[in-house]
């Protein structure tokens, strides 16, 4: 198929969200029907999505990836195409990504109520946030009882090779403990890779004991900054606690990644993050990079940075690139240099939107952008 349009995800991947909407990936949220896994795999919605790709069309629900690619940024589609290039294409389910709950102890500025019960509660109390970010209203967190469906899927698709745990914070979500127990019971620990994304706020030995029974684990630590920057972008962070947990996680005998949601806040202190990543590299020379530029919500799209903030970001990006010498960090360096190029070749789109969002959260959370970054937003 024409790789200019094609994405293998509808054939090979399932993303199961806590509200029971199922789609091929976390980027595609076009399916609004409440379906079981059994219903989804034979649904008209999925069959129509496949047909559009077969006809070299870009489905409406997939336009986010293509928009990112026009900006020379990472996209979910490109990641799936890379996997096909490496291992070939087989039209059967190989990957499952789970968001069994939005239970989380953080209110990250680039996140939303779908992925954080704390943001869900904050939005209910302060509707002006939802108005700015155009988030839809969601019900208060209820961990969906889906363990029977997950067991069915595991038994029905022996081709399943990868299970991804996201949230919320995975170590707080009981479904993941139950599903790992079932995979262990079914002797799938050698042929299923566990992909985990954690905010590093929790170190739970009961979770880790189960996790380390799997031969292959991609353990991803979400790290956007250090110190005050980390606490500002990921509200709820206590940096001394997170740092202590990171230093434990980075040495576990599995593949370790860091993942950064690159917002304007991150760009303004990215050299400090680079220094910390080099400390982690000294502890584990095999640490690898995952990252993405935040372009949703639009309030945090880097295109909304004013010219002063852009100049600050250029200096920080240049410092970070100079610091991150190992090839392990090439993906991260490419992404921030791509953002720098976009900033240098475009004009600020809506600086007031970024200012209003930042000031709104500052007021609600009793924080100050100026105290963290030394610049007053007018």
pLDDT per position as a tens digit, 223-270: 999 999 999 999 999 999 999 999 999 999 999 999 999 999 999 999
Is residue 137 very low, low, confident or very high in pLDDT (cuts 50, 70, 90)? low
With contact defined as beta carbons under 8 Å apart, do 76 and 9 qualify? yes
Domain spans, the chain = 94-368
Identify the sign of the CA torsion 302, 305, 311, 315.
negative
- The pLDDT value recorded for residue 67 is 87
CA distances from 167 to 58, 65, 90, 323 (A): 28, 21, 28, 32
pLDDT, residue 3, reads 74
In this prediction, residue 18 carries a pLDDT of 72
pLDDT digits (tens, 9 = 90+) for 121-135: 999 999 999 889 987
Determine which helix (DSSP H) or strand (DSSP E) holds 218, and give its type and residue range: strand 216-222
This prediction has a pTM of 0.91
| Mean pLDDT value across the chain | 93
**Confidence class of residue 1 from pLDDT cuts 50, 70 and 90?**
low
8 secondary structure, DSSP code: S
As a CATH number, domain 94-368 is 3.20.20
For the stretch 97-116, pLDDT in tens is 999 999 999 999 999 988 99
Question: How far, in Å, CA of 150 to CA of 14, rounded?
Answer: 11
pLDDT level of residue 138 (50, 70, 90 thresholds): low
């Amino acid at each position: 198929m024409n790789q200019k349009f094609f994405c293998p995800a509808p054939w090979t991947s399932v993303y199961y969200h806590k509200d029971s909407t199922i789609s091929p990936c976390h980027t595609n949220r076009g399916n609004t029907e409440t379906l079981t896994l059994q219903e989804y795999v034979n649904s008209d919605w999925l069959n129509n999505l496949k047909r559009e790709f077969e006809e070299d069309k870009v489905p409406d629900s997939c336009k986010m990836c293509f928009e990112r690619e026009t900006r020379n940024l990472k996209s979910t589609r490109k990641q799936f195409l890379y996997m096909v290039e490496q291992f070939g294409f087989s039209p059967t389910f190989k990957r499952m990504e789970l968001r069994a709950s939005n239970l989380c102890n953080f209110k990250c500025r680039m996140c939303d109520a779908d992925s954080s019960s704390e943001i869900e509660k904050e939005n209910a109390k302060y509707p002006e946030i939802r108005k700015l970010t155009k988030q839809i209203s969601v019900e208060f967190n209820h961990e969906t009882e889906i363990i029977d469906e997950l067991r069915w899927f595991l038994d029905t698709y022996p081709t399943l090779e990868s299970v991804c745990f996201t949230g919320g914070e995975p170590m707080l979500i009981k479904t993941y403990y139950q599903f790992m127990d079932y995979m262990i019971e079914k002797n799938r620990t050698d042929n299923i890779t566990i992909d985990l994304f954690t905010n590093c706020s929790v170190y739970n030995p009961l979770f880790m004991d189960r996790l380390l029974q799997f031969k292959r684990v991609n353990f991803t630590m979400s790290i956007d900054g250090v110190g005050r920057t980390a606490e500002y972008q990921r509200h709820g962070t206590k940096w001394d606690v997170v740092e202590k947990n990171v230093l434990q996680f980075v040495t576990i005998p599995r593949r370790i990644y860091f993942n950064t949601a690159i917002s304007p806040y991150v760009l303004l202190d990215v050299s400090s993050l680079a220094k910390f990543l080099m400390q982690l590299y000294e502890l584990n020379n095999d640490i690898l990079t995952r990252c993405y530029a935040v372009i949703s919500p639009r309030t945090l799209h880097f295109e909304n940075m004013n010219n002063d903030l852009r100049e600050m970001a250029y200096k920080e990006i240049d410092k970070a690139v100079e610091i991150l010498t190992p090839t392990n960090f090439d993906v991260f360096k490419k992404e921030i240099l791509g953002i720098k190029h976009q900033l240098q070749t475009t004009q600020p789109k809506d600086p007031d939107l970024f200012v209003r969002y930042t000031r709104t959260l500052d007021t609600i959370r009793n924080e100050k952008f100026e105290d963290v970054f030394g610049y007053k937003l007018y």
